[in-house]
Amino acid sequence: MGQTKKMPVRTCTGCRQAKNKKDLIRVVRDKEGNVSVDATGKLNGRGAYICPDKECLKKAIKNKGLEKTLKISGIGEEIYSQLEKELGEINE
């Protein structure tokens, strides 16, 4: 019998639903406190995940989900802009 590899599950900071890690976008905070969108999913640092859905992004902004998960106060507007851009590319 072949063993199937278990898929890692993460929770979206917007809708709070658990989904496969590969289906979510990762945002990471490094040791210096810099926040960036992690396209590879492999950067070092504390990660937060969000569905590739504009509604989830709106919820995450409203409830400060990314800030809470990354344990920082205030995420720069450029990160939200980058996430919106990525969502636009995914949904095209």
Report the amino acid identity of residue 88: G
pLDDT digits over 8-33, tens only? 999 999 999 999 999 999 999 999 98
| pLDDT band with cut points at 50, 70 and 90 for residue 5 | confident
Q: What is the pLDDT of residue 2?
A: 59
Q: What is the pLDDT of residue 1?
A: 53
Identify which of 45, 52, 3, 47 has the alpha carbon closest to the alpha carbon of residue 23. Answer: 52
pLDDT digits over 35-76, tens only? 999 988 899 999 999 999 999 999 999 999 999 999 998 888
The 3-state secondary structure of 60-72 reads: HHHCCHHHHHHCC
Distance CA 81, CA 1 (A): 47
Q: Where are the domains of the chain?
A: 9-90
Q: What is the pLDDT of residue 15?
A: 96
Tally of helices (H runs) and strands (E runs) in the chain: 3, 5
Q: What is the pLDDT of residue 73?
A: 86
Q: What is the pLDDT of residue 91?
A: 62
CATH of domain 9-90: 3.30.1230.10
